[in-house]
Structure 1
């Protein structure tokens, strides 16, 4: 049961991370690097982008659904870092597959891409079908990996030309410990997730983070970094002040968050670390800037079969959206 998972696995880690660990301020020099951060007009993505600019990145792209908000974020970052001409704001709507395609086509014109930090995501209790899936699944899972695979060849090209190993970091969460994931026992996981009659929207965000973990692990298991030539990892920023909880806003929650949550800036340090991490983190979960064990469901006896099946179903879905997109993993 989710409540059991919450009490035995998630809460002890949450307490430890929130009260006893503070990630260090990033110091890695990013001179010459081009870095893309999605969902970068607010919250963790914006603060991660600010760090990358501060660390001397040559180009930092804020990938945002609202370019207007992105421009406001750009101005704020430029003011605080006193560096101009570095930040660019590009349109990206993860609820629109064509928007993902346009973004990647534009990215192919960049001289290089060293790192893509996929921070964009949604948390909603409202069931709504968007682009063929429940909106949380479309945004946090399907489009997140569609973007990763479509942009992968450009990162591989960067690696060949520069001798580095570029990185794709998926911003996941420790809440992947919570779901019991009953949908795994059905004949179609994604089909079941699209059923409004059985959808547990209170747990849907948590489940989307679990699906991200499973997919990253399976891709990395099937395609080691020597073959893929790009590091794929996933990161937990812990519980931070962010826009994700706006649907749950209340005086009580605000008080709890004030007492417990990391600042957005502190949480963003983990995104920066993940985006600059190397091949030793391929397929690994990073928490507090170090490789950490995933949830028992992921690492237990069922884990391998679950992640294989989730990836197989997602790969089929991605191939329907963009035929041939998964073939880039075979290069």
Structure 2
């Protein structure tokens, strides 16, 4: 009932916090929640806004549309290529972004939802895109976020867009021995693609639980959020029941995007926390995440994920 009540009766606050003087990166920002979040950030006076997108043609269209709707200066928004299914693309993007004068917000919104198995970089594509590459990008840019905090006496935000569906899966794979969870998820013969998107969102939550304490004195705020069920391009390749749920319960794209902007603007009270309807709401985490089993799963997942990240980019976990 909490889900239905939130979808039908809770309206996240309209974003008002200024982003003047700041540099913001939003992944997956050519469509849906990412684009509407970018529109809000541009409206709120951001100095530099980078649309990090796989489809740069669509990204340029989004840039023009946002500029037209807000009459903002064309120099503010830039479109950069980022394909999360390719580690080389992630590393190239991070190298380019690290040369920026500052990064005040890295809003990781891009993701996929599909019930069809395919492979990317040796793992099932959803796991590669939503989990491995998302944290690869985060860790590669942490040095820049930290230096921004020191140089400009500010608190950069690293925000991961998750979902309440993290609690809608069994995630039986967590009981595998350490080192076997990700291989189990990427075994085409046994992969449970029906719960793959929820599992990817759960993995994000579990990883953040391990990373956030390590960033406590870094000046960087790490939070994770649930935007609710929204009308967006996410799920266009997903299961039929998602389409039905959207028809009856989904928020508009603009209203859903407010939750992204709320997390991107949040203060230290949000560090390491889960945000729901634009507010810190740890009680909205699934019972599994808050359980003893959840803590064990979190440690196992992070150990495996950090090992994978080290193989992709040696030394990257030291950036934490």
TM-score, structure 1 length as denominator?
Answer: 0.92
Give the distance between the partners of 1:179 and 1:258, measured in 2 at CA. 22
Q: How does 1:178-327 map to 2 (within 5 A)?
A: 178-187=168-177, 188-221=180-213, 223-226=214-217, 228-248=218-238, 256-292=245-281, 293=283, 294-327=285-318
1:10-62 Cα deviation digits (max 9, x unpaired): xx232021012000110001110100000000000000000000000001100
Aligned partners of 2:269 and 2:165: how far apart in 1? 24
Alignment partner of 1:20 is 2:12: no
Using the TM superposition, give the Cα deviation of residue 253 of structure 1 relative to its aligned residue in structure 2, in angstroms: 6.2
**Structure 1 spans left out of the alignment, 5+ residues:** 1-11
Question: RMSD between aligned alpha carbons?
Answer: 1.3
Does structure 2 retain, via aligned residues, the 8 Å contact 1:236–1:270? yes
2:16 is paired with a residue whose SS is: coil
Tell me which residue corresponds to 2:69: 80
1:54-73 matches, cutoff 5 A: 54-73=43-62
TM-score, normalised by the number of residues in structure 2: 0.96
- 3-state secondary structure, aligned to 2:69: helix
CA distance in 2, matches of 1:225, 1:247: 38
Alignment size in residue pairs: 315
Shift of the alpha carbon at 1:255?
6.1
Aligned-partner Cα distance in 1 for 2:246–2:164 = 16
Aligned equivalents of 1:192, 1:147: Cα separation in 2: 24
* Structure 1 residue 225, shift from structure 2 partner: 2.1
Q: How far apart in 2 are the matches of 1:77 and 1:196?
A: 41
Unaligned 5+ residue runs, structure 2?
none
Cα separation, 1, equivalents of 2:91 and 2:215: 26
Q: Would you identify which runs of 4 or more consecutive aligned residues in structure 1 move more than 6 Å?
A: none
1:6 aligned residue: none
CA distance in 2, matches of 1:284, 1:234: 6
